[in-house]
Amino acid sequence: MTSQPRDAPQFYLTSPSVCPYLPDREERKVFTHIVGRRGRELNEILTQGGFRRSQTIAYRPACDTCRACVSVRVLANEFEPSGNLRRVLKANADLIGNETPNRPSSEQYSLFRRYLDSRHADGGMADMTVLDYSMMVEDSHVETRVIEYRRRGIDSHITGKGAGDLIAVCLTDQMSDGLSMVYSFYDPEHQNRSLGTFMILDHLRRAKAMGLPYLYLGYWVDGSKKMAYKARFTPQERLLAPGWVRVD
């Protein structure tokens, strides 16, 4: 009798459920657990194959009749912001992101709750408690960081850190070929800043500075307005049937 070693991934398929992106459609996911000594290596292989990480689970769509969800990664070294994106950078020039270990804080959770209550009150994460949030941040077998964005202070040019209230946060995985933005949120009172877009632009800058070729953005969903923004960041590669295909 043989048994699977703990490091060997086993894959599971979810039951059909309502699609959160496209009306009158159902979604299914295939998922596995990222655990053990090979957690980081497995996460990289799966991410490069179109999976996304949530805590210790990696998943990807496995819908029976739909292929609208497409994994997207931006070519950080070649990216140049358009005029509109440069305006977003200018509007947020007073912010600075500080990289910290993946440790939750009450300040983060307070901001997270305000963001959910304002933007996703009827979403699947609406009932997350402080314990749920802590697990989302800490429960990782890969190299994960939290980027906290605050206004620049008097001594930010020396310390590299912002000052004052927390305005935005991104949970980010670092891999050998890029950064992966796992989840981001921000103060809804600053929605005119286009903070979601700004954090992508800042992560593209970070990836380029680190010599990493890609920024993984998750899924672009053809036909979904709330996922359309990901098409703005080009050149990018999309994971299609032949493999990663460049889109300019």
Predicted confidence at residue 2, as pLDDT, reads 45
Rounded mean pLDDT of the chain?
Answer: 92
Residue 247 within a domain: no
If one counts the domains in the chain, the total is 2
Sequential DSSP letters for 113-159: HHHHHHH-TTSTTTT--HHHHHHHHH--SS-EEEEEEEEE-TTHHHH
Q: Is residue 40 domain-shared with residue 115, that is, in the same domain?
A: no
Q: Is residue 99 domain-shared with residue 207, that is, in the same domain?
A: yes
Which H or E run contains 41?
helix 39-48
Q: Is residue 47 domain-shared with residue 96, that is, in the same domain?
A: no
| Mean pLDDT score, 217-239 | 94
Q: Is residue 97 domain-shared with residue 35, that is, in the same domain?
A: no
Predicted confidence at residue 160, as pLDDT, reads 76
Domain membership of residue 100 as a residue range = 81-212
Predicted confidence at residue 121, as pLDDT, reads 66
Q: Is residue 161 domain-shared with residue 40, that is, in the same domain?
A: no
* pLDDT exceeds cutoff 80 at 1: no
| Mean pLDDT score, 208-237 | 95
Band (pLDDT 50/70/90 cuts) for residue 163 is: confident
Quote the CA–CA distance of 21 and 129 in Å, as a whole number. 24
Q: Is residue 204 domain-shared with residue 128, that is, in the same domain?
A: yes
